[in-house]
A and B are shown apart, each in its own frame.
Chain A
Amino acid sequence: MIDIHNLERNYKTGHTDNFVLRRIYLHIAAGEFVTIMGPSGAGKSSLLNVLAMLDDQWRGEFLFEGTPVQTLNRKQRAELARRRTGMVFQSYHLIDDLTVAENIDLPLSYKDIPRPERQALVADTLDRFNIVGKKDLYPSQLSGGQQQLVGIARAVIHKPSLLLADEPTGNLHSEQAAEIMQLFRTLNQQGTTIVQVTHSEANAAFGSRTLELRDGWLTRDTANPNLNSAPGAPGAAA
């Protein structure tokens, strides 16, 4: 599903370049549940943003389901991301003045889907996530776990092939976190490829593969034990 070759991302600070991703080589197959770990500032979220196609300032090659993303213009990338990816945020990022149902409907509202069809999809999703009773509530009326549930429902309503999650349980207590991770596992079992960023080993245990980043370098990949962990040395994950 994802093939990345020699991907680099840097930010300019004055006259110096600060690299946040260095020579990343990565292959993720469809149906995988990948966890990206690493200390703060290692480049986890930056990699996630590249995968989500929110960032287009990187160099290298990125094939998404066979499409060379680096050759797409900004609009084409946004279109591809809108169709094929879903995003779950640590801070849920629900919109205050929209109800639960309206928040879930949001990704569909940016596609050319007729209103009745959208309503049916929202109803299905509410049912699937067991939150029908909360459809008219506002985010501020929900608990953190419930808000994240809505966030995930919103991310998967358009049936993306790739679900990206940035610290999805970072603001939840352990019990709620376990429930959310169980939901991810279920979604993965139903065929959705998942890439999550987390600090939690417990969360990582729900996944099938773990990557570790340090100072922008990919230093560990459980699917590729032979990966050279020394910074500066390129490694290729199988």
Chain B
Amino acid sequence: MNSILQDLRYTLRQLGRSPGFAVTAILTLALGIGATTAMYSLVRSTLLAPLPYPHSEELVGIGLVQSGTPPASDQTGETGDFLLAHAQSFSSIGIAGDRPLGQNFSNGSGKAQTIYSLHVSSGYLPTLGVPALLGRTFTREEDLPGAAPTVVLSEDLWRRVLNADPNIVGQAIHINGDPFTVIGVMPSTLSTVDGTDVWQPLHLSATDPGYQGTNFQTIARLKPGASVAQASAELSGLTSTIFRQFPDYQKWTRPGAPKLQEFVWPLQQIVVSNARSSLIALSAAVLAVLLMACLNLAGLMTARSITRKPEIALRTALGASPAMMLRLLLTESLVLAFVGSLLGLGFAHLALPLLLSASPIGLPQLRQTTVDLPVAAFAILTGCTSTLLFGLLPALGVFRQTIGSSLGNARTAGESAPRQRLSKSLIVAQVTLATMLLSTGALLLNTFLHMRAIPSGVQPPHLYVLQVNLKGDAYSSTSHTQQFISVVEQRLRQIPGVAQVATVNGLPIDRGLNNSGGPANHPDQIAYAESRFITPGYFRTVGTTLLAGGDISDADTATSQPVALINEFAAKRWFPGRSPIGEYVITGSDKPRRVIGLIANVHSSSLTDSIAPTIYVPYTQVDNESMKTINGWFATSFVLRTVERGNFRDPEITTAVSAAVTAVDPEVPVRKFVPMQTFIDDNVAAPRFFSWLAGGFAGFALLLTLIGLFGLLSYQVASRTRELGVRMALGAQRHQILSMVLKNGIMLTAIGLVFGSIGSCALRSVIAALVSSTVGTRATATASLLGAQTVSISIAGAAMLVSAIAASLIPARRAATLEPTEALRAE
């Protein structure tokens, strides 16, 4: 024990005497371990955490998707019903809407708010297996079309808005202005997965407008003893029956593409599916940073052990056993590891909230993301393992040689070949990794700039968007919806600074209805098309160019001739070589509409989406059924163009805008009031986030490489002092010594650059997949967004070379100014 304490004291004294080494080693470790720990904590709370449901390993999702797609539980209404009737591998099956939808909630206090509701079948909540906190879940009867309106609340909403009223069950709350009887409250664990505030019965019916589309998700609980593979095999067998029964689905896929098929995945994989590729990519980047930190540490420890050679030789000569030397080295390594790990934990603790708040990816928090005991244990274990593997082992190698040569006088000059190889390999590996990180950062930054430069089709300056949800029975008719929109538009126009106002269902770069559409006289050309519903002056307000014909006006009413405007893409496809004005188009099951105007192309749901044929229809001419559908699925957006002066984000303006809506219907809250640029920025948020993150990692990697290269060359100059003296004695001039050391650094960098460039090229497809998964485009479409690889590699190469020269310059100058007589005396 005394010996250990003595070693510890000696180690602390030694580290105190080499503050440069101690601070560099500890900071290197701390940053590497901090980044790794933060990412581990995130991965642990998402990818590695079990779902918060009883026997969650039995829960699966069933998706009607093409093979090769990521885990998903997409389902059409009719295939969902089919599974309910035919699948045998499950003890229960639940169907739900594809996502929680925004609804207007009020509890009679007069202040409505937006909440998120998931429509679920009666089997959905029982399948998850979480018992209700209060009351119960839906019965089969309550899920039938026409049943009395009921709702199940989340614990969070119940506590937040209803003051945890213990007698809430049986009482009525108002959603979209309609009364719903509360039948139960579900514990908060349920909301953590998808952020649902309330559950409403799905009332799945073949007459639902979205029944035949993949607007649903299906979950199931495996029968005891059944496996995912068995369930997959059963559903694979049922796929052919599905196609016989519903032949239209076979037309959904393009020729040559994989056919749709029923797949079964563990539900956990589906829940984290969207975040999976991003987290794996981030983890890989973080591991690369950790590896760089470790390589750096190895370089530092090797260099340090060289400087301690005389001490170690003396100790050995005085009788220190190898075990004693090992204990001394171990103590130093563990002290560094422990301090570095503790600092790393602090770094992770600070970085985690920043990472979570900055991340544009939805990260399902299946477990609280925090630095807890297992995470701390992970950090310390990683720190110790890294230090022992990358710090102690290379140092031991040097000491073994030292003990062998003891105090003998070296008769040759320079480093030994194996030691040189080790040092050089460490630097080449660091440069390789740093180049890969740098070029990835440059590639992502290029992608972000590329996406930002894509014209959206609207003019964002001075354009604001006010979104509301018009749901419930009150907004199931066109006349009531139209009346609401008309009065709100009038009130918005009265706000000082507002120049133009119009309304659209299906804002650009947001969500909207995709439907069937095409030329009325060519039914064979009727295929997928986007439908947008607008009020007069919409195009002028958002700044989209009217290329030919005229705009809709107040004269276009429910009783006048049905009219539409189409975009340039639709005109070229449907009416090639001629003007579309005066032609007729069909959207959905609507009657033919006369085309009165041609509109410039606008990106519908994403900047990266390819332009789709789009039909614009006046709000006044939408039938009641379609109005109910679009109001149920999408937000209604008022677009406001303001005068060019003043700040329109003043709280007073926000209040006035909100008042314009609630004055017309107090049950309709403002869901969002933001500049149009926000929608565009959100669209490029993921590549921006990843480019910043990769840039941060790359900067850290560059710094580590700089330190590593500087350390290695300084060490080489120190250990080759006598060799340099010999060279000078044999006629080498100072500039030749300077260029020799510089050349050494640049050569190592160049080799690392070659390997790094090869690695960067291999990473391109991974980055394309990452971008496509975060911005929701196909990987093939994303490939065109990524800039030229040569540009990113050139940027990385230039940064590395400049860093290499900077890092090499000081040791090289030091070498060139050596006095030969002094150098020749050096040991």
Contacts and interface: CB of A to CB of B under 8 A. Distances in A.
Interface of A: 49, 52, 54-55, 75, 78, 81-82, 87, 89, 91-97, 106-107, 110-111, 138-140, 144, 147, 154, 171
Q: Which of B410, B415, B824 has the most CB of A within 10 A?
A: B824
Contact of B412 (A54, A94, A154): A94
B726 A93 contact: yes
Given A78-B733, A139-B412, 16 more contacts: A81-B731, A87-B730, A89-B729, A89-B824, A91-B411, A91-B412, A92-B412, A93-B412, A93-B413, A93-B725, A95-B412, A96-B413, A96-B414, A106-B727, A110-B727, A110-B731
B733 A92 contact: no
Contact of B413 (A54, A78, A81, A95): A95
Contacts of A78: 728, 731, 733
A151 B820 CA distance: 17
Nearest to A81: B731
B730 A147 contact: no
A78 B824 CA distance: 16
16 contacts: A54-B821, A87-B730, A89-B729, A91-B411, A93-B411, A93-B413, A93-B824, A95-B726, A96-B417, A97-B417, A106-B730, A110-B732, A111-B731, A138-B417, A139-B411, A147-B412
B525 interface: no
B788 to A, nearest CB: 40
A112 B725 CA distance: 21
Interface residues of B, number: 25
Contacts of A106: 727, 730
Nearest to B420: A97
Contacts of A147: 411-412
A96 B412 contact: yes
A91 B736 CA distance: 24
A144 B411 CA distance: 9
A94 B729 contact: no
B409 interface: yes
Most chain A CB neighbours (cut-off 10 Å) among B410, B412, B722, B820: B412
Given A54-B820, A96-B417, A91 B409 contact: yes
Contact of B414 (A52, A97, A144, A171): A97
B416 interface: yes
A97 B418 CA distance: 10
A89 B726 contact: yes
Contacts of B729: 52, 54, 87, 89, 93
A193 B307 CA distance: 40
A82 B820 CA distance: 13
B415 A96 contact: yes
Contacts of B413: 93-96
A150 B673 CA distance: 85
A140 B411 CA distance: 9
A196 B160 CA distance: 96
Contacts of A89: 726, 729, 824
B568 interface: no
Contacts of A75: 733
A70 B583 CA distance: 102
Contacts, number: 76
Contacts of B728: 54, 78
B821 A55 contact: yes
A144 B412 CA distance: 10
A31 B561 CA distance: 120
A107 B730 contact: yes
B667 interface: no
A48 to B, nearest CB: 10
B611 to A, nearest CB: 63
Interface string B477-508: 00000000000000000000000000000000
B730 A154 contact: yes
Interface in B713-730: 722-723, 725-730
A159 B585 CA distance: 98
Contact of A95 (B414, B731, B820, B821): B414
A54 B728 CA distance: 8
B731 to A, nearest CB: 4
Given A89-B726, A93-B412, A144-B411, A82 B824 contact: no
A137 to B, nearest CB: 13
A138 B412 CA distance: 10
Contacts of B410: 91
Nearest to B413: A93
A94 B730 CA distance: 11
A106 B732 CA distance: 9
B61 to A, nearest CB: 61
Nearest to A55: B821
Q: Among A75, A89, A111, A140, which residue has the most Cβ atoms of chain B within 10 A?
A: A89
Contacts of B725: 93
A107 B736 CA distance: 12
Contacts of B821: 49, 54-55
Given A54-B821, A55-B821, A110 B730 contact: yes
Contacts of A92: 411-412
Contacts of B409: 91, 171
A96 B416 contact: yes
Given A81-B731, A96-B417, A111-B731, A171 B411 contact: yes
Interface string B786-827: 000000000000000000000000000000000011001000
A93 B726 CA distance: 7
Nearest to B416: A96
Nearest to B735: A75
Interface string B391-419: 00000000000000000011111111100
Contacts of A49: 821
A110 B414 CA distance: 18
B416 to A, nearest CB: 6
A88 B468 CA distance: 91
B411 A95 contact: no
Nearest to A155: B730
A72 B414 CA distance: 31
A36 to B, nearest CB: 16
B314 to A, nearest CB: 20
A55 B823 CA distance: 12
A52 B415 CA distance: 26
Nearest to A75: B733
A116 B759 CA distance: 40
Contacts of B722: 93
A216 B82 CA distance: 108
Contacts of A111: 731
Contacts of A139: 411-412
Nearest to B414: A96
Interface in B283-334: none
B731 A107 contact: yes
A140 B417 CA distance: 11
Nearest to B725: A93
Q: Which of A49, A93, A106, A107 has the most chain B CB within a 10 Å cutoff?
A: A93
A140 B405 CA distance: 13
Given A54-B820, A144-B411, A110 B733 contact: yes
Interface centre among B414, B416, B727, B730 (most CB of A within 10 A): B730
Nearest to B417: A97
A196 to B, nearest CB: 16
Interface in B680-733: 722-723, 725-733
Nearest to A138: B417
A92 B726 CA distance: 10
Contacts of A144: 411
